[in-house]
Chains A and B, each alone.
Chain A
């Protein structure tokens, strides 16, 4: 964050990094096929036999259905003679795509220099595409198979889900979720806001119902059961010191941390001291989760840099 550290030294650091970056780019362009994606075509052909059942065939005839799909040739197998033999060809759409994703990654990285238009553009784009993508998934994965297929089975079967059995017919019960969805969309209308409250109430009622069961069963009752440990553990060799110490410490820590969260007893005297011990154990818990969180974040950055160095600049064998 380019806060008020002297502008000069900050710009200097970034200048150096850009120069190194440019050198790496040029060097990689010359030595290897930077950011190029090669593909090999794969033919699919189907002929219809007597009763219209299609099966794959190697010798396509005029009336058959044919199309070609493409498989990416991994960098390790991409040798010169594969290219010369003409079998592999450069796929422009995927190469442009790879370069675009590398450029977008650098756009977001530029946020370190400061909040600049490149970052805002990349961010606006990701907000748009991911929202659109999620809606497409919602349509094809849930709306069509779980709702439309129940209401208009024959139509859906002939259109996009040939595998389903369309014998069910029009199932009346599924009218209700369909109506609820339409009512939900009323919230977008400026006037009809209150209509959307019916499905929202249904939503919140169901969430309250199953969440209460889930939390009481798994987080309350089961945790108390897991908390019951004997404070005097005897292994085959008689009294065992370490497991007993661990059990006592576990119990003391759990009870004192719970006492810290008591609000109807004043934290004075004995209760005050136990609460103090409780807060210490909570601090150890937070320290542990701090360490784990940091570890996670760094792995994400490492993965992205692997993408930049591997898939794009081919410095390291891309996974």
Chain B
């Protein structure tokens, strides 16, 4: 139904413009040619509060591409701006101020522009529009009316984001499905993380040399994901240290993190069967402030010279100072963080670094907590899906450019167009095949 009434508007409207242009009275001063084909349509996929106004540039507009270059635009007639006027034809029940009921100028658009969105319309009212060209001397061209009035309508579902909704449902379904699987006890397989051997090796070396192990769980607070992942790795390190009988030192930057770290290490020592060698005061809170904290930790490193330094959690600019001091005292350093800006420093100065999601995967692998493993597997399948779509898209793009088929209606071009504009773009479902887009969708 929608397509039919739009076509009706187009046909009727071009008649009036044509009629207006048909009898250009030779105005005394040189008046620019009026713009033509004024089309007015309710903006699709919105809450009915905007209307799209579209017209073709007037003949005396220098930007008008239809102008054959022989046709010289009279300098006096060159269009400077387009003036859009609006009139409320039906207030849908509520009273309409007389100023709105008559033609009122709503906007002035620069030359060369042929499209404008009027966002100051009310839902359910109907409006008439007309546009004219104004040249530098201020003379106005004849009006070009859009005969049919337009009523902004609220669409129930924002069609342009249809595929985005599908993507979110898809990724959400992957993750929700795997979390349920993991919670129902189904064993999900996760590959071994190389970083964990590096940790065991570091703890082993520390026990041989009889020097303590330093563990820093980042400087973020307890509600950050990276701190929680850091504490999971701490439980593994503490367990290995308890088995080897090595001493572990955990300075923290937040009091809540200290409390959680104490619980984790105590549970780890219990699991390793050496509850008595657990010393709560080795896990202590220094200060909240970033640089004061790092000054305290490096002070400890220089005095005690730990053999292994493990940094697992969210770090900011101080990662550099920790890694540098650790390197200076010759300790094995293993780091893990998801902060993209700090990874280069850790990678360049530590023996092994868990990069981004590898850090989260390690904590999921260690903790075996169904929540983490479920979302890890869900993310993996999400990544697999993304790679699949990427490869299909590239396949179509390559075949088109290889066969240099310029006709745009081949199946390949249609498929590529559909993938790029509809599936991954914001044009809703649209019509598949042949890459033609209906009137509303702009061919972005």
Contacts and interface: CB of A to CB of B under 8 A. Distances in A.
Task: Judge A-B direct contact (beta carbons within 8 Å).
Answer: yes
Contacts of B420: 225, 228
A290 B344 contact: yes
A290 B319 CA distance: 13
B347 A222 contact: no
B358 A261 contact: yes
B345 A123 contact: no
A286 interface: yes
A258 B386 contact: yes
A298 B391 CA distance: 42
Interface string B241-262: 0000000000000000000000
Contacts of B345: 290, 293
B272 interface: no
A287 B347 CA distance: 10
Given A282-B355, A286-B343, A263 B191 contact: yes
Question: What's the interface size class on A, roughly?
Answer: 35 or more
A267 B298 CA distance: 37
B328 A3 contact: yes
Given A227-B390, A228-B393, A222 B344 contact: no
Contacts of A4: 302
B380 to A, nearest CB: 5
A231 B386 contact: no
A54 interface: no
Interface string A170-198: 00000000000000000000000000000
User: Which of B340, B344, B376, B400 has the largest count of A CB atoms less than 10 A from its CB?
Assistant: B344
Interface string B48-70: 00000000000000000000000
A127 B289 contact: yes
Interface in B419-440: 419-420, 424-425
A220 B394 contact: no
B411 to A, nearest CB: 16
Contacts of B300: none
Nearest to A225: B424
Interface in A279-316: 282-283, 286-287, 289-290, 293
B387 A258 contact: yes
Contacts, number: 120
B355 A264 contact: no
A222 B424 contact: yes
Nearest to A222: B424
Nearest to B384: A262
B210 interface: no
A213 B158 CA distance: 14
Interface string A203-224: 0000000001100110011101
A258 B424 contact: no
Given A220-B167, A227-B394, 19 more contacts: A115-B295, A123-B291, A216-B164, A216-B167, A222-B424, A225-B393, A227-B390, A228-B397, A231-B397, A255-B390, A255-B391, A261-B383, A262-B383, A263-B357, A263-B377, A264-B191, A265-B191, A286-B343, A289-B341
7 contacts: A115-B299, A255-B390, A261-B357, A261-B358, A263-B376, A286-B348, A290-B345
Interface of B: 163-164, 167-168, 171, 188-192, 289, 291-292, 295, 298-299, 302, 321, 325, 328, 340-341, 343-345, 347-348, 355-358, 361, 376-377, 380, 383-384, 386-387, 389-391, 393-394, 397-398, 400-402, 404, 416, 419-420, 424-425
